[in-house]
Amino acid sequence: MALYNRYDVRSSSLVPPLMNVLFVCLGNICRSPSAEAVFRHRVEALGLSNAFHIDSAGTLDWHQGNPPDPRSITHGEARGYALQHLKSRPIVASDFDTFDHIWVMDAKNLADVMALAPEHAQHKVKRLLSIAPQLEVEDVPDPYYGGADGFNHVLDLLEAASDALLHHYLQKYTLVPNN
């Protein structure tokens, strides 16, 4: 019999989000919306949507209100990830209370987000690829000024990181896939 140590993720109408997860990059139009879409796809595939609140944000507001970069949409869609409905937004102060974990893409994002984070929330901020040390890569590189290879490399890294992240959450919270 399945054991749930905090919530029964199957009783959807009664269950608050178990984990509030925010992905952050610079512009919130390439890497972090892709991370949001890849991770959400995996969560949905396991029937665990009710256990997660997933969002993304940027450290700058240049693209606020815009959809992801068309290259991220195209390369994501080619792998089955839905990005076209997402809208860029900057990280805001309340995110440090709303979210349990804030996963950033690179060292610059880490420095920028830590500079904004109140002391009580600093432990929530981590580099995403720290969850997948087997990759031996610390940063999800910014693909914005490059070509198609860069966008595919980002997706490769995000898929591996999302697998590791989901495994981490499943173990930590004894979540049992519903599918």
Residues that bind ligand 4NP (CB under 6 A): 25-31, 62, 142, 144
How far is C-alpha 44 from the chain's CA centre?
14
CB-wise, 32 or 50, nearer to ligand 4NP? 32
Q: Is there a catalytic annotation at residue 142?
A: yes
CB-wise, 23 or 169, nearer to ligand 4NP? 23
Q: Is there a catalytic annotation at residue 30?
A: no
CB-wise, 142 or 159, nearer to ligand 4NP? 142
Q: How far is the CB of 68 from ligand 4NP (least distance, A)?
A: 8
Q: How far is the CB of 25 from ligand 4NP (least distance, A)?
A: 4
Q: Which residue is nearest to ligand 4NP (CB)?
A: 27
DSSP string, the chain: ----SS--TT-GGGPPPSEEEEEEESSSSSHHHHHHHHHHHHHHHTT-GGGEEEEEEESS-TTTTPPPPHHHHHHHHHTT---TT----B--TTHHHH-SEEEESSHHHHHHHHHHS-GGGGGGEEEGGGG-GGG--------TTS-HHHHHHHHHHHHHHHHHHHHHHHHHHT-----
Q: Is there a catalytic annotation at residue 40?
A: no
Which of 25, 30, 95, 106 is catalytic? The answer is 25
Which of 8, 30, 31, 112 is catalytic? The answer is 31
Q: How far is the CB of 167 from ligand 4NP (least distance, A)?
A: 24
Which of 55, 69, 106, 142 is catalytic? The answer is 142
Q: How far is the CB of 52 from ligand 4NP (least distance, A)?
A: 21
CB-wise, 12 or 64, nearer to ligand 4NP? 64
Strand 101-104 to 19-25 pairing:
parallel
Q: Are 158 and 33 within 8 A, CB to CB?
A: no
What residues are annotated to the active site? 25, 31, 142
